Copies of this chain bind each other. A is one copy, B any other.
Amino acid sequence: MAMTLNDDQNMLRESARDFMASEAPVTHFRKFRDMGCKDGFSHGLWKQFAEMGFTGILIPEAEGGMGMGQIEAGIVLEEIGRNLSPSPFLTTSVAAVEALKLADKAMRDRWFPGILAGETVIGIAIEEGVKHRPEKIACVAERSGNGFKLTGHKQFVVQGTSSDMLIVAARTAGAVGETDGLTLFAVDKDAAGLSMEAARLVDSAMAAHVKLDGVQVNADAVIGDVDGGWAVLSKMLDAGRVGAAAEMVGVGTGAMDMTFDYLKTRKQFDRVIGEFQALQHRAAHLYGEMEGARSIVLKAQSLMDEGHAKAELYVAAAKAKAGLACNLAVREGVQMHGGIGMTDEYDIGLYMKRDRGLNEFFGDAYYHADRVATMNGY
Contacts and interface: CB of A to CB of B under 8 A. Distances in A.
A281 B278 CA distance: 7
Number of copies: 2
A280 interface: yes
A276 B280 CA distance: 11
A91 to B, nearest CB: 33
A278 B280 CA distance: 8
Interface centre among A276, A277, A280 (most CB of B within 10 A): A277
Nearest to A284: B278
Contacts of A278: 277-278, 280-281
Interface in A244-286: 276-278, 280-281
A335 to B, nearest CB: 13
Nearest to A280: B278
Interface residues of A, number: 5
A280 B278 CA distance: 8
A218 B277 CA distance: 68
A281 B335 CA distance: 15
Nearest to A276: B277
* Interface SS majority for chain A: helix
Contacts of A276: 277
Interface centre among A276, A278, A280 (most CB of B within 10 A): A278
A276 B281 CA distance: 11
A280 B276 CA distance: 11
Nearest to A281: B278
A277 B277 CA distance: 6
Contacts of A277: 276-278
A73 to B, nearest CB: 38
A118 B354 CA distance: 65
Contacts of A281: 278
Contacts of A280: 278
A286 B276 CA distance: 19
A280 B280 CA distance: 13
A284 to B, nearest CB: 10
A276 to B, nearest CB: 6
A276 B278 CA distance: 8
A378 to B, nearest CB: 14
6 contacts: A276-B277, A277-B277, A277-B278, A278-B278, A278-B280, A278-B281
Q: Which 6 residue pairs spanning A and B have beta carbons closest together?
A: A277-B277, A278-B281, A277-B278, A278-B278, A276-B277, A278-B280
